[in-house]
Amino acid sequence: MSFFERVEHTADLAILVRGEDVPALFANAARALFQLMTEPPAAPERTREITLESVDRESLLVDWLNELIYLHEVEGETYAEFRITAFTPTALTAQVIGGATTRKLKTIKAATYHDLRITETAGGAEAHIVFDV
Amino acid sequence: MVTLTDVKQIEECVYEIPRSYRDDMRVPARVIADAAILEAASHDRGLEQLVNTACLPGITNFALAMPDIHQGYGPPIGGVLAMDEETGVISPGATGYDINCGVRLLASELSFGSVKPRIEALVDALFAGVPSGVGRGGALHFADRELDALLERGAQYVVELGYGLPDDLAHTEERGCLAGARADAVSHEAKKRGSGQCGTLGSGNHFIEIGRVAEIFDEATARVFGLFQGQLLVWIHSGSRGLGHQVCTDYVRGFQQPMREYGITVPDRELVCAPFASPEGQNYFAAMACAANYAWANRQVMAHLARTVFLDVLGADAHLRQVYDVTHNIVKRETYAVDGQPRTLIIHRKGATRCFPAGHADVPDAYRAAGHPVLVPGDMGTASYVLVGLPAALEKTFGSSCHGAGRVMSRAAASKQVQGKELQQRLRKQGVYVHGGSWEGLAEEAPEAYKDIDRVVRAMECAGVARRVAKAVPIGVIKG
């Protein structure tokens, strides 16, 4: 089973993403985001550190993905590796490793709160996320 | 999910989901539709999303959806929400990420027949001359202070720089500048995203289309709008690019905690909101106005670039006059009669167009005797419409009309069913030359992914809200 799949949505882009635990779910949600937006970077040589605080776990996921969308757009970078180095339900620190974007596939405007669900499952955790495209 | 048994017809082409449908509804939810459109709308979650908006504090009379309704995030696409200025809320999620996504219509004095052999060259030159595509930057870069001026003055600022004509402003909603914009309400991150994208089309459902007027329904109004049978037109559909996306992201995030403090609960967190009169609400309104102004400047620059291409390819007779420019995603302060008394309302339009009757003070001078033009672009294989607002719009739809055909098929399903290259060939046989940035992007926007636009605009007419003036068919399209 792939770590994410697309879910039917009339106008935008919805995914179901999985991870062995919630931090892994966050990393996989980021991997899914970049698989949808771009081709992998030619040379993943740039490391950026991201620190975020949010009001709750769902907000933290939305803020994490939107921070990556922002960096991708303004820095012209694509990230291929996501290391969550510290995680609580309202804060995270992560290292993201990537390089210059080689080919863009799709513009994703933002991750939204609509229908956002993070659930613990027998296999770990999964989240339903809707992106505005 | 809302089913058809939950919906009652209250008059011709107006349907209602009563307050009794769900305990948290403050007002009924209404849809402008015919029976077939309503049936199609019941297949996705658009109607449930409309019910969610009927629960927001201060919502007045009814939550509304236009006949191009379909599932979005937060409100449905085609949604119109009127909030009381004193007791109501403003919601960034209900306005959407592409603030002032809208459409501009330019008209030549040329007929299609006279330029038919040069259409493909024209489309290719437009593709080269107007930056488009995923993440592609533009020709204009603004330093911090220049960008602040652009955010506060919109299209007026770029016209002064030489991008377009003062007359364009007289033919733009709000004259291309929404009052109340304050650049200090826009984050550094949003400005960084916006600094190099002014004058770019973007991707997704954004496009520039060359069309020809195929049918005139209302000769007198068409004359006022300067439209004639066979005329060559240009439609520009784009918005506020990364700057607008970031403004929405910032305020959806920033409203999460204050909303709790104001004691507001919403059925969908994307409908996060704050009282309009609160400091948070006022800051969002000021930032949203900046993003709206950025979008008007963006379409203004693209119109200038398109004009340059037309003159280069077709010669000196190919001047493009601006018919009008309307916004589809915005929040406005507008006054309506509520219970017989004039009241200022905070109108959220999410995939809907302003639609005022003849004589309304906010209709531009040149069109006041005829009414407000409603520009309704369709898909790239079918048709687009120009409508005009009617008096019933003020009582039935808070001065709003549909904004397009509306999707019926997901992007994923369209990509599976349609090959971009085959679509391009099929459209070429139909007489539509498409120059796209990516095959997948083209497939996602295939005509079969959209509703029947003829039916959508007839529903507006049937409800007495707007009247058809002219129909245009596409002959050339550029997609990002």
- Please indicate whether, in this complex, the C-beta atoms of A105 and B410 are within 8 angstroms of each other: no
- Please indicate whether, in this complex, the C-beta atoms of B409 and A104 are within 8 angstroms of each other: no
Would B40 be classed as within a structural domain?
Answer: yes
At residue A9 the predicted structure's pLDDT band, cuts being 50, 70 and 90, is confident
CA distance B386 to B377: 8
- Please indicate whether, in this complex, the C-beta atoms of B134 and A132 are within 8 angstroms of each other: no
Q: Which pLDDT value is given to residue B438?
A: 85
The percentage of chain B sitting over the pLDDT mark of 90, rounded to a whole number, equals 91
Q: Which pLDDT value is given to residue A10?
A: 82
Residue A11's closest CA among B142, B77, B271?
B77
pLDDT digits (tens, 9 = 90+) for B192-237: 999 999 999 998 889 999 999 999 999 999 999 999 999 999 999 9
CB contact set of B206 (below 8 Å; sequence gap of 6+):
B101, B132, B237, B238, B239, B479, B480
- Please indicate whether, in this complex, the C-beta atoms of B270 and A110 are within 8 angstroms of each other: no
Residue of chain B whose alpha carbon sits nearest to that of A74: B193
Alpha-carbon Rg of chain B, whole angstroms? 21
Q: Which amino acid is at B460?
A: M
Quickly tell me which residue has 């403004």 as its tokens.
Answer: B247
Would B111 be classed as within a structural domain?
Answer: yes
Would B244 be classed as within a structural domain?
Answer: yes
The residues that bridge with A88 in the sheet, in sequence order, are: A91
CA distance B283 to B251: 9
Min Cα separation B329/chain A (Å)? 14
Give residue limits of the domains in chain A: 4-132
Of the listed ranges B131-135, B200-204, B281-285, B309-313, the one predicted with least confidence: B131-135
User: Which residues of B fall below an 8 Å CB-CB distance to A?
Assistant: 44, 46, 70-74, 77, 93, 96-98, 133-135, 189, 192-193, 202-204, 242, 245-246, 248-249, 252-253, 256-257, 260, 268-270, 272, 407-413, 438, 440-441
| Domain CATH number, residue B130 | 3.90.1860.10
At residue B441 the predicted structure's pLDDT band, cuts being 50, 70 and 90, is confident
Q: Which pLDDT value is given to residue B205?
A: 86
Min Cα separation A115/chain B (Å)? 7
What is A4-132's CATH superfamily?
Archease domain (3.55.10.10)
Min Cα separation A45/chain B (Å)? 22
Would B235 be classed as within a structural domain?
Answer: yes
Q: Answer with the residue of higher pLDDT: B78 or B204.
A: B78
Residue B81's closest CA among B295, B336, B256, B263?
B336
Phi-psi map region of B479: left, alpha, beta (phi>0 left; psi -120 to 50 alpha): beta
Residue pair B241/B197 in contact by the 8 Å Cβ criterion: yes
Residue of chain A whose alpha carbon sits nearest to that of B193: A74
Contacts by A79-83 with C-beta closer than 8 Å and gap 24+? A79/A30, A79/A34, A79/A41, A79/A44, A79/A48, A80/A31, A80/A34, A80/A40, A80/A41, A80/A44, A81/A44, A82/A26, A82/A27, A82/A30, A82/A31, A83/A27
By the 10 Å C-beta count (0-12 exposed, 13-18 middle, 19+ buried), B347 is classed as buried
Q: How far is CA B450 from CA A13, B3, B72, B411, in A?
A: 16, 22, 14, 11
Would B425 be classed as within a structural domain?
Answer: no
Q: Can you give the residue range of the structural domain that contains B397?
A: 4-408+450-479
- Whether the ipTM is more than 0.85: the answer is yes
pLDDT for B312 beyond 90: yes
Q: Which pLDDT value is given to residue A43?
A: 86
pLDDT digits (tens, 9 = 90+) for B245-259: 999 999 999 999 999
- Please indicate whether, in this complex, the C-beta atoms of B256 and A10 are within 8 angstroms of each other: no
* SS3 of residue B33 by DSSP: coil
User: Which residues of A fall below an 8 Å CB-CB distance to B?
Assistant: 6, 8-13, 54-55, 58-59, 62-63, 66, 69-70, 73-74, 101, 104-107, 109-110, 112-116, 130, 132-133
pLDDT digits (tens, 9 = 90+) for B353-364: 999 999 999 999
CA distance A71 to A67: 6
CA distance B400 to B361: 15
CB contact set of B372 (below 8 Å; sequence gap of 6+):
B354, B355, B356, B357, B360, B362, B363, B388, B389
* Residue among B266, B410, B438 with most chain A CBs within 10 A, to mutate: B410
Min Cα separation A24/chain B (Å)? 23
Residue of chain B whose alpha carbon sits nearest to that of A76: B135
**What's the token pair of residue A20?**
């062995």
Min Cα separation B146/chain A (Å)? 19
- Please indicate whether, in this complex, the C-beta atoms of A113 and B408 are within 8 angstroms of each other: no
Residue pair A106/A36 in contact by the 8 Å Cβ criterion: yes
CA distance B146 to B169: 20
Quickly tell me which residue has 């009582």 as its tokens.
Answer: B395
Active-site entry in B70, B237, B403, B435: B403
Residue of chain A whose alpha carbon sits nearest to that of B203: A107
CA distance B73 to B46: 9
- Please indicate whether, in this complex, the C-beta atoms of B97 and A70 are within 8 angstroms of each other: no
CB contact set of B339 (below 8 Å; sequence gap of 6+):
none
Residue of chain A whose alpha carbon sits nearest to that of B245: A109
pLDDT digits (tens, 9 = 90+) for B116-139: 999 999 999 999 999 986 655 566
Question: Is B43 annotated as catalytic?
Answer: no
pLDDT for A87 beyond 70: yes
Name every chain B residue with its beta carbon within 8 A of the beta carbon of A63. 253
Residue pair B430/B381 in contact by the 8 Å Cβ criterion: yes
Residue of chain A whose alpha carbon sits nearest to that of B75: A114
Q: Which pLDDT value is given to residue B406?
A: 87
Q: Which pLDDT value is given to residue B173?
A: 98
Would B417 be classed as within a structural domain?
Answer: no
CA distance A80 to A37: 12
Q: Please report the number of interchain residue pairs, chain A to chain B, with beta-carbon separation below 8 angstroms.
A: 105
For the beta carbon of residue B23, count every other beta carbon within 10 angstroms. 7
Average pLDDT, chain B: 95
Q: Which pLDDT value is given to residue B356?
A: 98
In the predicted model, what is the mean pLDDT of residues B52-67?
A: 98
Would B289 be classed as within a structural domain?
Answer: yes
Picking from A70, A107, A114, the nearest residue to B204 by CB comes out as A107
For the beta carbon of residue B438, count every other beta carbon within 10 angstroms. 18
Min Cα separation A44/chain B (Å)? 20
